[in-house]
């Protein structure tokens, strides 16, 4: 089953085209790296898929629900971690997770067990009584992932989940995300290509609002010694021929 189905998705800001007729699908249980240079259209695509922004044209479905015609049903399938976790510094971790659970419509009788479940899964059980303002950057990211997991959504969209973490914290968060494979479909947006190589099965690259690659990591890199970074640069570099340039020698 396709967890995400996108067909000719386009977003225009007056004369500027942010994304241009994107068409792709992501299968259930996959971990997919969503890559592109700054301004490529990644954030626009994620905002449309999560219901934060309308599209100009095109279609998109999440778990079979049309995100424009059935937005509430589609949003219930999604757990979203923006680049900066939306924490409230004056709340404890437990209070914050309870607040998110209530917004997500978790039945009141299940809120405590649901908080305990996601806290155990993200390694923050000991932090539940603490104010979120006192947490380290690594634990704030874990709390951000925990709130995305509340309600057991089928799809997780994670935007730069390891931004600003030290190497130990980064490894812990990546191990946590990798452990979600099969239980959830994960779309991971990051500028750190080594993270994609370590945990993603497939890579989707956009540049100037268009798809430049949509392949398994193995097929994208190929049998050569070139890594993902070289392929990424190759696919997102615009080659502009100079007018009147001499033809290369035979």
Q: How far is CA 29 from CA 64, 155, 178, 192, in A?
A: 15, 9, 11, 22
What span, in angstroms and rounded, lies between the C-alpha atoms of 223 and 225?
7
The answer to whether the beta carbons of residues 213 and 204 sit under 8 Å apart is: yes
* In the chain, where the domains are located: 1-77+154-237, 85-152
**Residue 248: pLDDT over 50:** no
Task: Give 47-86 pLDDT, tens digit per residue.
Answer: 999 998 999 999 999 999 999 999 999 999 999 998 888 8
pLDDT confidence bin for 189, thresholds 50/70/90: very high
pLDDT at 53: 92
Distances (CA, A) of 30 to 50, 187, 188, 196: 18, 8, 11, 13
Please say if the pLDDT value at position 246 is more than 50.
no
pLDDT 10s digits, 165-182:
888 888 888 988 888 888
Give Cβ neighbours of residue 128 (< 8 Å, ≥ 6 apart).
Answer: 92, 93, 94, 97, 115, 119
- The residue that leads in pLDDT, 152 or 242, is 152
What's residue 181's pLDDT? 81
pLDDT > 90 in the chain, percent: 70
- A 10 A CB-CB count for 234 gives 12
**What CATH number has the domain spanning 1-77+154-237?**
3.40.50.300
Predicted pLDDT of residue 239: 53
Q: In the predicted model, what is the mean pLDDT of the chain? A: 90
- Which pLDDT score, from 0 to 100, does residue 240 have? 46
**What confidence category does residue 225 fall into, taking pLDDT thresholds of 50, 70 and 90?**
low
pLDDT band at 250 (very low <50, low <70, confident <90, very high): very low
Instruction: Give yes or no for residue 245 having a pLDDT over 60.
Output: no
- Mean per-residue pLDDT, 13-38: 94
């Amino acid at each position: 089953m396709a967890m995400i189905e996108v067909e000719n998705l386009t977003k225009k800001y007056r004369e500027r085209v942010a994304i241009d007729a994107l068409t792709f699908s992501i299968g259930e249980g996959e971990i997919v790296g969503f890559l592109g240079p700054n301004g490529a259209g990644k954030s626009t695509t994620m905002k449309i898929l999560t219901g934060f922004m309308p599209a100009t044209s095109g279609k998109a479905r999440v778990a079979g629900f049309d995100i424009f015609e059935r937005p509430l049903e589609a949003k219930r399938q999604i757990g979203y971690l923006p680049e900066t976790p939306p924490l409230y510094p004056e709340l404890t971790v437990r209070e914050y997770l309870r607040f998110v659970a209530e917004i997500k419509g978790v039945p009141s009788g299940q809120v405590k067990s649901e908080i305990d479940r996601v806290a155990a899964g993200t390694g923050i059980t000991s932090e539940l009584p603490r104010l979120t303002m006192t947490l380290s950057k690594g634990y704030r990211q874990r709390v951000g992932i925990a709130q995305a997991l509340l309600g057991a959504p089928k799809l997780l969209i994670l935007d730069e989940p390891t931004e600003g973490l030290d190497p130990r914290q980064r490894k812990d968060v990546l191990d946590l995300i990798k452990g979600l494979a099969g239980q959830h479909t994960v779309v991971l947006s990051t500028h750190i290509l080594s993270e994609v190589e370590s945990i993603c099965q497939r890579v989707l690259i956009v540049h100037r609002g268009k798809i430049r690659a949509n392949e398994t990591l193995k097929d994208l890199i190929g049998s050569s010694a070139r890594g993902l970074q070289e392929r990424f640069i190759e696919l997102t570099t615009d080659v502009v021929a100079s007018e009147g340039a001499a033809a290369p020698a035979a």
